[in-house]
Chains A and B, each alone.
Chain A
Amino acid sequence: MVEHNIVVVNKSGLHARPASNLVKAASKFKAKISIIKAEKTYDVKSILGILSAGISCGTEIDLVCDGEDEVQALQSLSELIESGLGE
């Protein structure tokens, strides 16, 4: 299991569009991918999971990947979040 601490930078947080970009990207990996915010865990492959986490701009999250391609998943998804999720 690998993890990385990230501050969400895109202006409107993880709302519908950026969140859906993240779900799409996460679904490409086999590993189980979760976001931990305020000690609660949310499934990154579920748009509802991400949206119900209520992540706004400036929120600090832990991205956790667990599974065979966890290292690639962590690197690729961290970069995506840090670059503002295409927003």
Chain B
Amino acid sequence: MKNGIPASKGYAIGEVLLQIQDQVIISDELVTDIEAEKNKFVAAVKLSKNQLEKIKVDTEQSIGVDEAAIFEAHIMLLEDPELMTSILSEIEVNRKNAIKATTLVTDKFITIFDAMEDEYLRERATDLKDVAGRLMGNLAGNRNEILIHKDNTVVVAHDLTPSDTAQLDRSKVVAFLTDVGGKTSHTAIMARIMGIPAVVGMRDITTVLKNGDKVIVDGITGSVIINPNETVLSEYYKKRKDYNEEIEGLKKLRSTETTTKSGKRIYVAGNIGRPEDIDQVMENGGDGVGLFRTEFLYMDRKEAPSEQEQYESYRYVLEHSEGKKVVIRTLDIGGDKQLPYLNLPVEMNPFLGYRAIRFCLDQKDIFKVQLRALLRASVHGELSVMFPMISGLEEFLSAKSLVRECELELEAEGISYSDHIEWGIMVEIPSAAICADLLARHVDFFSIGTNDLIQYTLAVDRMSEKVSYIYDPMHPAVLSLIKMTIDAAHKYGKWVGMCGEMAGDETAIPILVEYGLDEFSMNASSILPAKRLIINCE
């Protein structure tokens, strides 16, 4: 058995097809006829361009316009002025042969990309390698194609490039295995689009497997079983069948409204940490966003984010949520989450200290930037805003009066904001749950943050291994606080959500439905299983 990074879920059983590109021999030979070498290079560029244009058209027809756009980027790389001039000058000035010149120049850029911090950009080195490989293959007179003749083929390669996958017979490929790559590599993205499993970053899988080997690909754990016996095979045939049936069943739930057997409509929303996470939530049939943590905007930088920058992020999420509710939580920072530019004090008890709303009400200037950005973004969708770490009514009212200040400022500046934003609080401190009856008269909604609520109620630090056994979402005291919160909200006609891990916990969901919880917010991948569970609740 070999292990790698699971990059696309599912199970496959098939036969190995190794994709090994013809080697291009790079020699140090210097050229004598410079003009001829330059012409040879220009001809190879032209041939590569024609090939890419054909692949682009084929891809547009067989996969889609979005997937084909990558080849336009490849053509652009191929014809890039900096690349062209540098290669031609290597030939002309240093008398390098065209293949050597191409390697020298493209390697320089590939090294730059490989060293980048951003994983996505780092993966773009693959694009350039793809283009350089094609160019050099054409200079050497090679052909680069993956020829597939059999059904149930598992394609095994050092790395798969967009032009490799575009030429695949997709009806015959059941999985990808590669030596290199990560979760955002082209192989991984392509496998997810095709709905087949992929295991990447396997280091030496191309040397371990040979053509015709029978393999089981487990895209969930990232393992590959080579030439399995009958017992293992039948075990995986069953796993594959169950998995495929489950996926089909869940897919049907994507566009279904979640209603319990007794007819109550329940909202199943997503938790997100970055604007682009909204796409994942919507793809999984989420009812909008139940928690958008805004901390990411403030992290990994030298100063607090500007109003405009925050506005753009909030607008992005609101515009991509198809008119569904988006609950944005204001900055929950401090204590254990430090930001160097805020100069927060180091405290003995960070979880009981200067953080979240306590910090924001003290540093009004920073807080108001966020409130203004939220108000401005509110015209782009259905916005709800909640304040974290509220311990009593006073804090909520102070926050609301700052909101009012911001509204007046915007009005004076002639900037519009929505008149139906909902303002709510996180119920995560036991005192808020105990005073829920008082708070419910003033807020528009509650969202129960179970991670902190459990920690504070049971006085247990769940990061501390020796006591983490005390951390129990089903403790009667915790359940009782949750019930009190829901009952108080409903008494005043307000809705209650939950955005802690408990909301996606399949053992807790039936109890929470029974208590009358209106909205469950969780990671995108838990949404469909939760929907299925809820429609089977009373």
Contact = CB atoms under 8 A, between A and B. Distances in A.
Interface of A: 7, 9, 11-13, 15-17, 19-20, 23-24, 43, 45-49, 51-52, 54, 56-58
B325 interface: no
Given A15-B124, A47-B73, A48-B77, A54 B309 contact: no
B109 A52 contact: yes
Contact of B70 (A16, A46, A56): A16
B80 interface: yes
Interface in B296-337: 297, 301, 305-306, 308-309, 312-313, 316
Contact of A54 (B73, B117, B127, B308): B117
B312 A13 contact: no
Contacts of B72: 20
A34 to B, nearest CB: 13
Per CB-CB distance, the 9 closest pairs between chain A and chain B, nearest first, are A11-B276, A16-B73, A20-B73, A46-B82, A56-B118, A9-B312, A54-B116, A52-B112, A47-B76
Interface residues of B, number: 33
Interface in B88-143: 109, 112-113, 116-118, 120-121, 124, 127-128
Nearest to B69: A17
Interface of B: 69-70, 72-73, 76-77, 80-83, 109, 112-113, 116-118, 120-121, 124, 127-128, 274-276, 297, 301, 305-306, 308-309, 312-313, 316
B532 to A, nearest CB: 30
B309 A51 contact: no
Nearest to A87: B276
A51 B124 contact: yes
Nearest to B117: A54
B308 A51 contact: no
Contact of A13 (B73, B120, B127, B274): B120
B484 to A, nearest CB: 40
B120 A56 contact: yes
B76 A11 contact: no
A57 B81 CA distance: 26
